[in-house]
Amino acid sequence: MKSIRKIAGVVASIGALTLALALPTTGTANASTPDQVTFTWRGYLTAGSCTIEPGAEWTLYSDGTARLDATVFSLDDNDAWLMWAHLLDGRKAVLGDIRVYRSSSTKFVKNLPSHARTYRWIAWGQFDPSLFDLVKHMSLSKHC
């Protein structure tokens, strides 16, 4: 009975190792359905005194809409996080940028009035829906 448990533990460990090795790198799709794909940033993103915490997600929908869900803060008062979200193909060539929803601007802005607070940033965007099946990676340009 002990050897069966030990074998089960080894199999579980190998499974966990395989899962860990299969996890995507920053900006790579990590969850998808035919109608949506989510990109998660696993590390801190910084620019100047501004930081986005790990776990920031961009979800792209096949209808050409996109949703950002992130937590952001600054070490200074009256700051702003500026971000541009780039859609990339399998070779990491740029396909296009996400635009602010119902706008032609590609610059997303989150005001950070107080250094003593952390802010949840939910933002909506849009992109050419014909690109949906081609998007395999994302990258972000950022400024604070």
Q: What is the CATH number of the domain that holds 67?
A: 2.60.40
Q: Which two tokens stand for residue 54?
A: 């790990």
- 35 found inside a domain: yes
Q: Could you tell me the residue range of the domain that residue 33 belongs to?
A: 26-143
Amino acid at 8: A
What pLDDT score was predicted for residue 120? 98
Residues 6+ apart with CB under 8 A from 16: none
Residue 100 has pLDDT above 50, yes or no: yes
Q: Give the residue from 123, 131, 29, 8 showing the smallest Cα distance to 72.
A: 123
8 located within any domain:
no
- pLDDT tens sequence across 61-76: 999 999 999 999 999 9
Residue recorded with tokens 């792209």: 60
pTM, full prediction: 0.77
Residue 1 — very low, low, confident or very high, per pLDDT cuts 50/70/90? very low
Residue 81 to residue 142: CA distance in whole angstroms: 7
Number of domain units in the chain: 1
Token look-up 């099946």 returns: 133
The pLDDT score that the predictor gives to residue 7 is 36
Least confident of 9-18, 112-121, 124-133: 9-18
